[in-house]
Structure 1
Amino acid sequence: MKRHTTLSAICLALLFTATAHSDEKGFTPLFNGKNLDGWVQHGGKAEYEIVDDTIVGTSVPKTPNSFLCTEKIYGDFELQVDFKVDPLLNSGIQIRSNVYDEDKVLETKNADGKEKKIKVPAGRVHGYQVEIDPSDRAWSGGIYDEGRRGWLNNLADNKAAQKAFKQNEWNHYRIVCRGNSIKTWINGVPAADLKDDLTSEGFIALQVHGVGNHPEKVGKQVSWRNIKIKELKPEKKK
């Protein structure tokens, strides 16, 4: 019996190891740990620097939201990233986002199905944002439509996801975009589950939120590390 138990434990360990390695296959780092090659800043003038294999964003006064954006465009993908944020600072991770050189009008629909037009100013980063929210509201992992429609999937009714956020510690996001589906997990707990087809592709960006007239929020930081992506093949239509 003891021999059987030992063999079972070994088999389980090997299975776990194989699964873990399988999950890692296909991922590509978005950050090389040395410099910001492949990234470009849009929006505000927040400071981005590299500290110990980590991208650190620092808030500055008198500037709008700042975004460090990938130069590459992504459509269907799985993104994983660790982040840590100061309790006074709001942040987020943009996905399928864009910025235009000229003003542009987007056509969408209201919740009641009526046609709606949204004007996006030139230079304005806009698109889906996976919220980083250290406030008491705790909506980290919810989906906000930056520069367009506002909240699309908050976490008001998802207590488990609210409780999953760890204040003053590293947190982990898993974000999966496929077709019109966007799903998020925070520290392994399901968070947002959105169906929306307004934008099918765009860049990924790291946000440092503007601090407005709040001097106590100046100089606060948000950090990201272990940023990796796996591009997914579009699902076949039935």
Structure 2
Amino acid sequence: MIRHSALIVSLTMMMLLFGAFVLAPPGNSPETSGREWISLFDGESLNGWVQKNGTATYEVVDGVIRGTTAEGSPNSFLCTFNEFGDFELYFEVFLHDNELNSGVQIRSQTREPEGDEAYGRVNGPQVEIESSSTGSPESGYIYGEGGIGGWLISDDERKHHKTFRDGEWNQYRVVAEGPRIQVWINGEKISDLWDEEVYMTHPRGFIGLQVHGISENEGPYSVSWRNIRIKPL
């Protein structure tokens, strides 16, 4: 009787342990689960980011990242230290000045530095940020920054639209899976790109916040980002 009871207890414990193993939630590691959102901006500092190219300024103001132009500067980029391949990216952006063109780099790289450069030129796919008041508003389309092909969305598919709301925070969602990149603005789908050639050269890379270059005697213009998070797929 004692042996029988011990056997029952032993079997019960094994079943409980097995059930705990099966029902336990996946680990928090995005590399293994692919289900966890990672915040890229802590709301207080630029930890995890580094500026590459240009002399625009990036600072944290009232819990958001604000980028401001510098006269005569080429394009500037605030880039994540970490690199990402397949992912879902979410961020919110506010254009303080409609004259400013901006964007967010995905899967991007830098070329080898030349001369006394600290960083080589940033290159890779860029998700466009642009005021709807311009003559040809193209927010949400994908541009090949750094000489990788200009607009990656064909002219026929790149329709002018006013989904981007001037003077307001705008929500962007970007899904990159293999050679396919999709972009939504404020819940409306804007881009659906399939480009195997770009994917071959840029399968993964950093995320970069662009402040577009301006000429002398222009600006200053500013753009802000907040709620920047990413979910590896």
Query: What's the TM-score once normalised by structure 1's chain length?
Result: 0.74
Indicate the SS of the match to 1:162.
coil
Distance in 2, Cα, partners of 1:66 & 1:137: 23
Shift of 1:98: 0.5
Tell me which residue corresponds to 1:206. 209
Tell me which residue corresponds to 1:182. 181
Distance in 2, Cα, partners of 1:154 & 1:47: 33
Tell me which residue corresponds to 2:106. 95
| 1:70 matches 2:77 | no
Tell me which residue corresponds to 1:150. 150
The structure that has the greater radius of gyration is 2
Tell me which residue corresponds to 1:225. 226
Q: Which runs of 5+ in 2 are unaligned?
A: 1-34
> Once superposed, what is the RMSD of the aligned Cα atoms?
1.7
In structure 2, do the counterparts of structure 1 residues 70 and 188 end up closer, same or farther at CA, with 3 Å as the change threshold? same
| Letter matched to residue 100 of structure 1 | R
Query: What's the TM-score once normalised by structure 2's chain length?
Result: 0.76
Distance in 1, Cα, partners of 2:210 & 2:55: 11
Shift of 1:155: 7.4
Shift of 1:62: 1.7
Tell me which residue corresponds to 1:41. 51
Q: Could you tell me whether the CA contact under 8 Å between 1:139 and 1:154 is conserved in 2?
A: no
Identity within the alignment, %: 49
Q: Deviations over 1:45-71 (max 9, x none)?
A: 100010111000000112110000000
Shift of 1:101: 2.8
Distance in 2, Cα, partners of 1:169 & 1:194: 27
Indicate the SS of the match to 2:136.
coil
Indicate the SS of the match to 2:162.
helix
Q: Deviations over 1:96-119 (max 9, x none)?
A: 00013347xxxxxxxxxxxxxxxx
In structure 2, do the counterparts of structure 1 residues 155 and 174 end up closer, same or farther at CA, with 3 Å as the change threshold? farther
Q: Which runs of 5+ in 1 are unaligned?
A: 1-24, 104-121, 233-238
Distance in 1, Cα, partners of 2:80 & 2:154: 25
Distance in 2, Cα, partners of 1:93 & 1:154: 19
The runs of at least 4 consecutive aligned structure 1 residues that moved more than 3 Å come to 154-159
Question: Aligned to 1:130, which of 124, 127, 132?
Answer: 127
Q: Could you tell me whether the CA contact under 8 Å between 1:43 and 1:125 is conserved in 2?
A: yes
Shift of 1:156: 6.2
Tell me which residue corresponds to 2:40. 30
